[in-house]
């Protein structure tokens, strides 16, 4: 299990993801969000919609672990959900708002967690015992991976400051 200090730092980092995504929305032209980089590869808006729905699972799993004794943490099939929900048809602003509001709700809950709460566990069929702190670490890794995918697929290079990022789009 992740230690308490590490979990608290990671919770703070989870709060930084929505502003990072908002910056991508500001920088990328609307048509870039629906460009499919290759057959079978999600578009940027599909990645963002996936983050929104994955946040539902993260929040639900966190609530289950905090309120039940060793609950079963059901996996979900992201690709199946993407198809059923029609992720590519979601307006990017709607996908973002769903992600942002769900993340705010999850962070409100996490802000009230004690060390004992962060140590509570559920049981995942693949990962085994998974604590709330572990869920936080997994969510942060998931955010980092998918924000990187969106940035890459939108053609936005990692920039040191906003001026550099905007210069990428002027080229």
Cα 169 from chain centroid (whole Å): 25
Q: Residues 8-55: pLDDT tens digits?
A: 999 999 999 999 999 999 999 999 999 999 999 999 999 999 999 999
Percent of the chain at pLDDT > 90 equals: 88
For residues 139 and 14, the answer to whether their CB atoms sit within 8 Å is yes
Q: Collect all residues with Cβ–Cβ distance below 8 Å to 67 and sequence separation of at least 6.
A: none
Reported confidence tier of residue 4, pLDDT bands at 50, 70, 90: confident
pLDDT at 164 over 60: no
Question: What rounded mean pLDDT belongs to the chain?
Answer: 92
For residues 88 and 46, the answer to whether their CB atoms sit within 8 Å is yes
pLDDT at 165 over 60: no
**From residue 15, how far is each of 8, 29, 102, 108, 116 by CA, in Å?**
11, 25, 11, 10, 22
What is the pLDDT, as a whole number, of residue 3? 77
Report the predicted TM-score, pTM, of the whole model to 2 decimal places: 0.90
Which one is the CATH code of 4-170: 3.40.50.300, 1.20.120.450, 3.40.228.10, 3.30.360.10? 1.20.120.450
Please tell me the distance from the alpha carbon of residue 86 to that of residue 49, in angstroms, as a whole number: 9
Q: Find the distance separating the first CA and the last CA of the chain, reported in whole Å.
A: 46
pLDDT at 169 over 60: no
Q: Residues 85-112: pLDDT tens digits?
A: 999 999 999 999 999 999 999 999 999 9
What is the pLDDT, as a whole number, of residue 171? 42
Reported confidence tier of residue 159, pLDDT bands at 50, 70, 90: low
**Mean predicted confidence (pLDDT) in 139-163:** 85
């Amino acid at each position: 299990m992740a230690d308490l200090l590490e979990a608290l730092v990671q919770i703070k980092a989870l709060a930084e993801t929505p502003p990072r995504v908002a910056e991508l929305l500001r920088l990328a032209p609307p048509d870039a969000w629906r460009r499919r980089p290759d057959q079978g590869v999600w578009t940027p808006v599909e990645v963002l919609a996936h983050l929104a729905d994955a946040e539902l699972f993260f929040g639900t799993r966190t609530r289950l672990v905090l309120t039940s004794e060793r609950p079963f943490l059901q996996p979900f099939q992201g690709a199946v959900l993407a198809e059923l929900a029609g992720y590519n048809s979601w307006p990017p602003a709607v996908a973002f708002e769903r992600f942002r509001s769900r993340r705010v709700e999850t962070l409100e809950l996490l802000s009230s967690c004690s060390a004992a709460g962060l140590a509570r566990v559920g049981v995942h069929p693949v990962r085994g015992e998974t604590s709330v702190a572990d869920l936080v670490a997994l969510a942060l890794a998931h955010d980092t991976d998918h924000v990187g995918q969106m940035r890459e697929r939108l053609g936005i290079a990692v920039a040191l400051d906003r001026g550099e990022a905007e210069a990428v789009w002027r080229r």
